[in-house]
Amino acid sequence: MGQVLKAFAAPFLFAALAAAFSAAAHADTTGVEAIHARSAGADLDAVRRDVGELAALAEKHIGDKGLRQALKDFGTAPWVRDANGLHLWGVTVSGVSWFDTGHPELVGIDVSNITDIEGRFWAKLAVRSALGTGDKVFLLLFPHPKTGKSAVGFHSCFALEDGERVLCAGAFEDASR
């Protein structure tokens, strides 16, 4: 009778274990997929929310998967979103762009002296955000990549373990001004 019970229960146990493994494997991207599925449009509170959530999820993803794998993942959906230009980018503490899924042409360039439309040095703001010496979420004003008109963007950053680089989430309002 014990062998019959084992034979009967084995497929159910296997299915339950497979489901649990699948859920664990996808738990890391569930929050990111929720962000990817929505658009903040011109709602600046929603843009700010999405940036904060993406930064927190990216930091967790690095902790779970390691930096090398996470950086590969960050270049693909659901980590990048056309709506609001939501993406991840990074600078070194000295202001060199080292990672940018939204503007890969900047990688390797010293951006420490580049400002937004209103004169804010965004690399310095990123480092301050990551180190906790400035606003956790900061505002920049750049030309919208599709309309060319000024668009408000929010960014939030965190420091990597090496102490030399920060990684940020950024997005802008999708609205014409």
pLDDT digit string (tens) for 24-74?
Answer: 333 445 688 888 777 777 788 988 999 999 999 999 999 999 999 999 999
Residue 174 has pLDDT above 60, yes or no: yes
Residues of 131-151 as b/e, b for ≥16 C-beta within 10 angstroms? eeeeeebbbbbbebeeeeebb
DSSP code of residue 93: T
Specify the pLDDT at position 145. 75
Q: How large is the average pLDDT for residues 144-153?
A: 84
Residue 116 has pLDDT above 90, yes or no: yes
Residue 16 has pLDDT above 70, yes or no: no
Percent of the chain with pLDDT over 90: 55
Q: Are 58 and 94 in contact (CB under 8 A)?
A: no
Report the alpha-carbon distance of residue 109 to residue 95 in Å, rounded.
9
Dmax (CA) for the chain in angstroms is 79
pTM: 0.79
pLDDT in tens, 96-114: 999 999 889 999 999 999 9
Residue 7 has pLDDT above 80, yes or no: no
Written as six digits, the tokens of 55 are 């930064």
By CB atoms closer than 10 A (0-12, 13-18, 19+), residue 84 is buried
- CATH superfamily placement of domain 2-172: PAS domain (3.30.450.20)
Specify the pLDDT at position 11. 41
Q: Give the CA radius of gyration of the chain.
A: 20
Sign of the Cα pseudo-torsion (106, 83, 145, 148, in order): negative
The CA–CA distances, whole Å, from 47 to 2, 83, 117, 120, 146 equal: 58, 10, 19, 19, 17
Give first-to-last CA distance, the chain, whole Å.
Answer: 75
